Every structure is written in C-alpha cells, then in structure tokens.
Structure 1
Amino acid sequence: MCTDDAPEHALGRRALLVTGTAAALTLTTMSFASAADGSQSTKTLKGTLPPGAPDFVYLPVEVPRGVREIRVSYTYTKATVPAGTQNNALDIGLFDERGTALGGKGFRGWSGGARTEFFVRADDATPGYIPGPVRAGTWHIALGPYTVAPEGLPYEVTVTLTHGASGATPRPSYPPERARGRGRAWYRGDCHLHSWYSDGRRTPAEIGALARAAGLDFINTSDHNTHASQAHWADVAGDDLLVMLGEEITTRNGHVVALGTDPGTFVDWRYRARDNRWARYADQIRRAGGLVVPAHPHATCIGCGWKFGFGEADAVEVWNGPYTPDDEISLADWDNTLVAYARSRGTGSWLPAMGNSDAHRDPDRIGGPQTVVLADDLTRDAIQAGIKAGRSYVAESAAVEVTLTATGGKGEVAGLGERLAVAPDAPVTVRLEVAGAPNRTLHLVTDQGTLFTSAAGATSATWTTTASYAAYVRAEVRHAPTVPGLPGALTAFTNPIFLGA
C-alpha cells in the first residue's frame, strides 16, 4: 500500500470572497499513478471550510487506467458552539469522469451525512452509490457543507484505489408497473419512504413487509438525491403490492418527491430557488412519467421548507409523518390555494393534497399517514391519475375509511376531486361517512372555513348548502384537542368537492 498525505488545504477569508458567489468550489487535485494489479494506493486531503462556504465543494481525483475500485472515507470536526448556533454538518457524494455538470451523466452516488465511507466498483457499490466500471479520468468527490460553525469546518478525506481488472456490472431489474388490482377501487399507499440506500435504516425487503402489514396497496421509493435503490425493489413487489420508483430531491430550499418516474431516472438537486433552475427539473420528472410533489412544505429543519412555489407541482404533501404544528400550517396554506382556485371561477388547475409517512427507521410507522386513492386499477398510470385528479383522501391508518359526496336537487352526485355543476342557489346535500375513527369529531370545511362540526364519536354527518354559499367542501376527522383553543390532530382529511357550474 502506498500512502501519501497531501498538505492541508485551507480557505482564507479572501478565498471565500472570491468564490462565494459561485455555486461550487474546486479544491486541489488528488492525483494517482498506475500500479500493479492487486495493490492499493491511498491519499488524504485535509482542509477547513469557512462559514459561508459554497453549497458544494469538489475534490478532483485523477484516476489512472486499471483501477478496480475507488473507496472514500471522510471525517470532520464538530465545534463547540453556543445555544442557537448551528454546528458543523458535512455531506458527501461522488461523480465519475463524465463530470459534475448539473443534470449530467457523471453522478455515481450520494449518501449525504448518513455514511462516513463508501466504495464503487463495477460489480457492487455501497448503498446509495451506482455500480459500474472505474474508468480513467478526473473523478470528483462532492462535499456539501450543510451547516458551518463560526470557526469553520475542518475535514479530512481519504481516497483508496484498488488496482486490477474490473468485474461485470449487473443488469438492473426493476419492479413491474402493475399489480393485481380490484378494478376501479380505493387503493392505499405511502409515497415517501427512505431505505438504507439514503439515510434510512431499513432494507427494501423490510419496507415491503411493513407496507403489507400496514394494509398498503402501493408505495413509492424516495431516497434522498439518488436513484441507487431503484434496481433493488423487483423482489419486493408482488401481486399484492405495487412498487413505484422515485426520488426525494433534497435541495437547500426544500424537498420534493418525484413520484412514479421511469426506472433509472435521476433528478439533480444542486440548486436553490434563486438559481431559476427548478422548472427544468420539474419538467424532467414529468417527462420521465412522474408526478411533482413538494414534501413537508412548512417543515422547520434547515433547508426543508419549500421555497420554489407551487406552479410546477402536481400535488402537495400536506401531512408528513406524525401530525405536528407544521402540518397544520401546511393544511391551512393548501386550503388557501383552493380558495384562490375558487376565486378564479374554476379556470386553470387546482392542487390536490397527499399524506405520507416519510419513514426512515424504527419506530417510524410506514403508512402513517397514507393516501387513499380512487383508481381504475392498481397500476402506476392509474394511481398517478387518481392522485393528480384529487380523487383521494389521507388517513392515519388502514383502519380509517372516509366517504364524502355532494348531491344536487336533480340527483346529480360528485365525489372527491370532482365538481358538482349546479346553479348558484340550488340546494346541495353533503354527506360524510367515517369508519374506524372512534371518539373523533367530523368537520366540513369550505372557502369560508369550518361550517360544520359534529359531536365527538359521530360516524356520519349531513349538511345542506348552496354553491353561492360554499365554493367547495372538504372533510376533516380530528382527535380531541390537547391544547385549548387549538384544533386536535388529524385522523383523516379529504380533497375537496367543488360546487357550482
């Protein structure tokens, strides 16, 4: 083994001022020479990133011919910081000789802050990374200084090359786009899940078993900033479980789920809202057959709040995991979009809501919550069509069932996501039925707010209105409040039924 410790690479304040307006910074190149088969070569680079460092810092690695495996490990130092000051956090990933261009083909994996080391070779790779030949050329280790303490972020990166002939790269096998459905029916799914291919702790097989136990009919893979898991779900899918493929694109200005994209689709995440690049990647998701679903838009973690607007969205994740105050804010914010659509008198389109678990590890509950979709069959296209049309509701578990209909005076009926075309003053009867939610209160919400609340324990409600009084109606099922004057946590909520011609 040959070990070569490179000198420490430090960025001074002047360097920061020179490079701080750029999207990325490139460090000193780490060069390797050819060596005998079976031997290893190792080099280490040390440095310190200052506060205000660019979002991405690239370490070029010159890889010679005849390399079988590249292995990378890294460490960084946490600082002592006062309360309220962010400490150091450093993410990591890899690009091959095809380069680091946005949306390019050089991406070989990302583990964020979930791992301290990884390897890539032709026949295998660490979860989160893409197997394939280690070709000669300039590779790049991507460092993402997520947060930097006031005194800077000291880091150390070690690269080890194993010389020798490459193995064979396995051909990926993907899950089918169809499961054995029940025809037109209500199907339950969780479209925001994390496996050990990003920062989750569960294998695909474990996720599949938990999804079945939760009564789900479909799931969507959504590991952070990598498509590495997509070739590992074929054995999880079955007649009873549709597995759709996707990614959680995790930017510094919010997260978005790519829902049901074509196999092998990778969507880049290295931009902020101010860069005016998001529309390009939203279009890429749709061209790959997927839906664009901003996730937990009012989450309070750093970089989690959605800053890109909803003009490119096909749906929005209103409820994420255990119900918390930020979900209540997301619910209210989403309701405002319905009011805006109603004010436009139905021109344009409206934004349906979803709910997903965002489960990572025990005790995170897969299927808590879940989106229940009326679809023509259990296929990727049919489930996506139901979600995009808003023919769905969100429930905390498979035990909860909700039915909401609106009926006009001539017997015309509309369900979730539909419009009941009636005259402004024609009577409309709204019927809500709920099962599997004991001791809850039922609520009917319109563009004016909540206009009906049942007594605790009710399982049905009937309410009469007109289109001039309520532009839409949707339902909420809630637990008892835990804070006086504030609403209780959701058990379920529906997408709206719009009223009026």
Structure 2
Amino acid sequence: MCNDDSFISRRGLFVTGAAAALTLSSVSFAEAADAGTTATTKVVRGTLPPGSPDFVYLPVEIPRGVAEIRVSYTYEKPQVPAGTQGNALDIGIFDERGTALGGEGFRGWSGGARGEFFIRGDEATPGYIAGPVRAGTWHIALGPYTVAPEGLPYAVTITLTYGPRAATPKPVYPPERAKGRGRAWYRGDCHLHSWYSDGRRTPAEIAALARAAGLDFINSSEHNTHAAHGAWADAAGDDLLILLGEEVTTRNGHVVALGTDPGTFVDWRYRARDNSFGHYAREIRRAGGLVVPAHPHATCIGCNWKFGFGEADAVEVWNGPYTPDDEVSLADWDSMLVASVRSGRRWTPAMGSSDAHRDPDPVGTPQTVVLADDLTREAVLDGIRAGRSYVAESSAVSLSFAAYGGRGRHAGIGERLRVDADDPVTVRLEVTGAPGRTARIVTDQGVLHTATLPAEGTGTVEWRTTAAYAAYVRAEVRHPAVVPIPGLPGPLAAFTNPVFLGND
C-alpha cells in the first residue's frame, strides 16, 4: 500500500480550465501492473483549504488488464461554531475519455451519499456506469461542497483488480407508453430519488409506492447521474409510465431534466456566472425532455435558483410537504405570470413534485395532474409544457377549473378564453376531496374571491369577471392557517395553472 501525504494549497493545484476546477498530481499503478499482482491499493491524502474550487480532480493512471476499480474515501468533520460551515465532500469519477464539460467521460457520481464505489464490466455501484475499465488517465472528482475554516483533510483509497473483463450487458429501458384512457387527466410525480443517488429506496419500492398513491406516471431524477435509467424496466407496467431524467444539481440551483431520451447525461459542473446553463437546457430539449427548475427558493446550500427562468419549460413551485419556501415560490411564479401578460411573452407553467428520498417521505405529495392525449411520454410532456395541469396534495383531491364566455365559448386550464374586454366571463371551480377547505380565485390583481368548501369536501365555486378586470384567473385550495396571522394563508391543498382571458 502506498501513501501520498500532502497539504494541498492553492498554489499546489493545477488549473484545468475555469477557476472552478483544479487538478492534483497523478497517481500511477504502472509498477504494480508490471509486477503481475492481482490487486493493488494506493492511498492519497491531502487537505483542501477554505476557498477551494467547486471540483478537484485526482488523476489515476490505469494500466492495461484492469477488471475493476474500487474507490473509497473519508474526510474529517470537525465541530464548528453555530453559523459556520463544516466539511462536506462529494465524489464521482470520469474515465479515460476525460473530464470535459458535456463530454463522454462521465462514469458516475454519488455526491456525499456513499463512502465507496466500484466499477467493472458487468456491474457498478448504484449511481455509477458499468463497463470496461480501459487503460488511460481516469479522474476521481472531489467536490468540496463546504469547507470548514481549518480546511478539509481527506483520504482517497484506490484499489485496482486485474484479470479478464466481464461483458457489459445491454441496458433495457422502460417503455414510453402505458395503458391509458385516451385524452384524460393523469397523475404523476416527476421528482424522486432512489438508491441510485441519495435516496434509500429501490426503484421497485418507489414504483409500489407510486401505485399506492394513485399515480399514473413518475420520472427518474437522480442527482447528477443517469445510471438509474436501465434499472426501471422491471418496475414499469401497463398501469405505470416511467419517464427518465436527472436532477442536475449545480452550485447555483437544481433543475429536473424531465423525460429525456434513455441514457441521456446532463452535466452540472458550472455556475450561473459561467453562462453555460443555456447550452445544457438546449441539450435537455434536444434529448426530448423538459427543463424544470426545482424548489427555486429552497434554503439549502446551493439549492436557490440563480439561472433565471428564460430557459424553463415549467417550474417546480411546490416541492414536498408545503413549507414557507413553497409559498415564496408560488408568489414568485405568480409575478412571472403578470410579467408574461405585460410583455406578451411565453408564460411558464407550474408543477409540483414530492422530491421523496426515503421513509417517511411520501411519494405523490404533491403530484402534478396533467391533461394528456394518452399515457405516453410524448403526450404527458406535451401537457406539462402547455400548462394543462394542476397540482394536488394527493390523489384524493380533484379539481375542474374553466372560464366560460358567451355563445358557448370556454377554456380550461392552460388555455385562453378569447373574449372582448367587457364581455362577461364566468369562472367555475369544482372540487372534490377537500372538506372545509378554502377556495380562492386569483388574478393578476391578486386574490379576488374566496369561498369555504362544504364539510363533505365536494363543492362548486363560481365567480364573474371580465377580461378588462382579470388578464388571467387561477384557483387555489387552502388548508386553514397553521398560525392564525391576518393575511397569511394556510398551506396549499391544490392549485391550478391559469386560464387567460382576452384576445391578446
């Protein structure tokens, strides 16, 4: 076993490109391969100082004849004063094809969820891509998420096992169609995590919970890896459509790549100041997916969305159990609706997803309910992109929301009712599964109508307006306020995308 002990200073690092990525000295196994051993281990130790770059690469020279690479790592977690960031170190790996942004070298990422991983021809740790361990320079990627004032001491252990390569099985992906009901409302949860990233559930367990929650579709969205795409085929069925994607977890916010082509990898190694997000948003769309900023006002480090919404196909306004940051996201989204009306530009639909990771996180709380032509990948994505959807806390809650004008004209969620400015418009909200909740009609002027739903949970609310008075209408269903503060609404039980009014 070889030990390489060093303190890594800022001057001891080699810049590989932008200041956000630096490279350490390489580790060579050439002498071990020449000696004819069956397995060799080396340990690299160092300390990352405060102010380290986002990514530090440890090059590993892989000789010929390697069947498996296994990596483990540890780092110190000192006690720090309240309000001071401690140590947190992520890890992943790139193969001999290199670390270039968007390149083909990506072989896996587990962030801070695992202390070790392996890759060989026939199998790999969840989050990593099975395949041959070819000769050349591989790079272990270290991501110092936060660094304590005294630095981040770490140790990386690399073990190579020599021998014949195992064959790599061809991945099998879930079908892009399930047994639907034609044009209908379909329920889905598009932000979920399994043990292929930092979740604790298997794909089979998640699929079972999705079925129990009354869902018709889900989306695989592991942090910074597409490794799970080939693990969902057995969990799909006529009753459950499984879309494939990724949660692209940058240091300036997270975005769900929703419903991409199987095997699509989306890079995450950039910040807003790098002006790279537009390129990767277009890559998501070229792969057939949607760009959905996730929990844009979440308070965790790196979670707050800083890329703007110009590239968004939809935005995840409600993430998991309803919290104050969801209320801020809802208000921000509503302001975006007002801006779209004022500018005449495209509006951004809202979504909701559970972001469930482990027990007791409920799958399908909340869920996006989409009007789609059928239960297919293409139809569901079309419905979400068009905003023909609402968000509900569970399958027990159902909404019907539309605006009606004269001569039989009407428009549903995500549509426009074309009426003259002073033509009378009737807005109708029908609710089931919300006993005693408060229904609210919201316009570009704010909340203009409220009503209490019956105790049995089923009721209809109507309100009359004109396009001159309301550029759009949308509906909310609210629980009672947890803390009775005047003007502060209770948590959402459901809300809709808007119906636009007028000829503009």
Opposite residue 148 of structure 1, the aligned amino acid is: V
Structure 1 position 216 matched with structure 2 position 215: yes
Aligned to 2:26: 29
* Partners of 1:424 and 1:183 in 2: CA distance: 35
1:36 and 1:45 mapped to 2: Cα distance?
21
Contact kept, 8 Å, 1:432 with 1:461, in 2: the verdict is yes
Candidates 370, 374, 379, aligned match of 1:373: 370
Q: How far did 1:267 drift?
A: 0.3
Using the aligned pairs only, state the percent identity: 75
Q: 1:456 to 1:179 in 2, by over 3 A?
A: closer
Q: What is the alpha-carbon distance in structure 2 between the residues aligned to residue 156 and residue 17 of structure 1?
A: 19
Q: Is residue 362 from structure 1 mapped to residue 359 from structure 2 by the alignment?
A: yes
Secondary structure at 1:454 match in 2: strand
Alpha-carbon distance between aligned partners in 2 of 1:202 and 1:37, rounded to the nearest angstrom: 41
1:5 Cα shift?
Answer: 1.3
Say whether the 8 Å CA contact 1:37–1:165 is kept in structure 2: no
SS at match of 1:200: coil
Q: Post-superposition shift, 1:442?
A: 0.3
Instruction: Kindly provide the CA deviation profile for residues 263-301 of structure 1, in whole angstroms up to 9, marking residues without a partner as x.
Output: 000000000000000011000000000000000000000
**Deviations for 1:149-205, whole angstroms, at most 9, x for unmatched residues?**
001000000000001110000100000100000000000000000010000000000
Deviation of the 1:39 alpha carbon:
1.1
**Of 2, 5, 21, which residue of structure 2 is paired with 1:4?**
2
Q: Distance in 2 between matches of 1:17 and 1:161?
A: 25
In the TM superposition, residue 409 of structure 1 has moved relative to its aligned partner by: 2.0
Tell me the equivalent position of 2:502.
500
Aligned residue type for 1:73: S
Partner AA of 2:287 in structure 1: A
Following TM superposition, by how much is the alpha carbon of 1:15 offset from its aligned partner in structure 2, in angstroms? 4.6
Deviations 1:347-367 (A, max 9, x none): 331100000000000000000
5 Å matches for 1:440-459? 440-455=437-452, 457=454, 459=459
The superposition leaves residues 323-346 of structure 1 with CA deviations (integer Å, 9 ceiling, x where unpaired) of: 0000000000000011011112xx
- The alignment partner of 2:177 has SS state of coil
Answering whether residue 491 of structure 2 is matched by residue 489 of structure 1, we say yes
2:433 corresponds to: 436
Judged with a 3 Å threshold, the aligned counterparts in structure 2 of structure 1 residues 224 and 412 are, in CA distance, closer, same or farther, namely same
Partner of 2:94: 95
Whichever residue aligns with residue 376 of structure 1, its letter is D
Q: Point out where structure 2 has 5 or more consecutive residues left out of the alignment.
A: none
SS of equivalent to 2:89? strand
Alignment of 1:58-97 (within 5 A): 58-97=57-96
User: Quick check: 2:16–2:23 contact (8 Å CA) kept in 1?
Assistant: no
Distance 1:91 1:296 in 2: 21
- Tell me the residue number matched to 1:394: 391
**Tell me, what secondary structure is at the counterpart of 1:308?**
coil
Give 2:345's match in structure 1, choosing from 337, 345, 348: 348
Q: Which moved more, 1:417-426 or 1:402-411?
A: 402-411
Deviation at 1:20, TM superposition (A): 11
CA contact 2:14–2:23 (8 Å) conserved in 1: no
Instruction: Work out the CA distance in 1 between the residues paired with 2:11 and 2:282.
Output: 39
Contact 1:16 1:53 (8 Å CA) reproduced? no
- Name 1:279's counterpart in structure 2: 278
| Corresponding position of 1:463 | 463
Distance in 1 of aligned mates of 2:466 and 2:276: 43
User: Taking structure 1 as reference, are residues 19 and 71 closer, same or farther at Cα in structure 2, changes over 3 Å only?
Assistant: closer
Question: 2:13–2:23: 8 Å Cα contact kept in structure 1?
Answer: no
- Secondary structure (helix, strand or coil) at the match of 1:235 reads helix
Matching residue of 2:202? 203
Find the residue that maps to 2:233 and give its secondary structure.
coil
Partners of 2:54 and 2:374 lie apart in 1 by 43
Q: Is the 8 A contact 2:15 2:21 kept in 1?
A: no
* Alpha carbons 2:296, 2:316 under 8 Å: kept: yes
Q: Is the 8 A contact 1:16 1:50 kept in 2?
A: no
User: Which residue of structure 2 aligns with residue 164 of structure 1?
Assistant: 163
**1:20–1:54: 8 Å Cα contact kept in structure 2?**
no
> Quick one: distance in 1 between partners of 2:17 and 2:342?
44
The secondary structure found in structure 2 opposite 1:284 is: helix
For residue 5 of structure 1, what is the amino acid of its counterpart?
A: N
Q: How far off is 1:37 after superposition?
A: 6.7
Residue 22 of structure 1, CA deviation: 1.4
Instruction: Tell me by how many angstroms 1:21 deviates.
Output: 6.4
Q: Superposition pairs for residues 257-268 of structure 1, below 5 Å? A: 257-268=256-267
Q: Relative to structure 2, which stretch is displaced further, 392-401 or 347-356? A: 347-356
Mapped partners of 1:353, 1:43: distance in 2:
50
- How far, CA to CA, are the matches of 1:235 and 1:69 in structure 2? 27
Amino acid at match of 2:477: V
Q: CA deviation at 1:19?
A: 9.0
Q: Which whole-Å CA distance do the structure 1 matches of 2:450 and 2:125 have between them?
A: 52
What is residue 125 of structure 2 aligned with on the other side? 126
CA 1:21 to 1:97, structure 2 compared with 1: closer, same or farther past 3 Å? closer
1:11, distance to aligned residue in structure 2 (A): 2.3
Structure 1 ranges of 4+ moved more than 3 A: 13-21, 35-38
CA offsets 1:417-452 (integer angstroms, 9 cap, x no match): 000000000000000110011110000000000000
For 2:119, what is the secondary structure of its paired residue?
Answer: strand
Cα–Cα, structure 1 residues 37 and 244, in superposed 2: closer, same or farther, change >3 Å? farther
Alpha carbons 1:443, 1:454 under 8 Å: kept = yes
What is the match of residue 476 of structure 2? 476
Given that 2:297 and 2:304 are in contact with CA atoms closer than 8 Å, whether structure 1 keeps it comes out as yes
2:407 aligned partner, one-letter code: K
> What are the superposed Cα offsets for residues 120-170 of structure 1, whole Å, 9 maximum, x if unpaired?
000000000000000000000000000000010000000000011100001
Hey, what's the Cα distance between the residues in 2 that align with 1:268 and 1:237? 27
Counterpart Cα distance in 1 of 2:36 and 2:12:
40
Amino acid at match of 1:449: G
Q: CA deviation at 1:226?
A: 0.2
Q: Which amino acid aligns with 2:435?
A: P
User: Partner amino acid for 2:375?
Assistant: L
> 1:43 is matched with which residue?
42
Amino acid at match of 1:76: Y
Indicate if the aligned counterparts of 1:23 and 1:56 stay in contact, CA closer than 8 A.
yes
Contact 1:20 1:52 (C-alpha < 8 Å) held by counterparts: no
In structure 1, distance between residues paired with 2:86 and 2:315: 31
TM-score under structure 1 length normalisation: 0.97
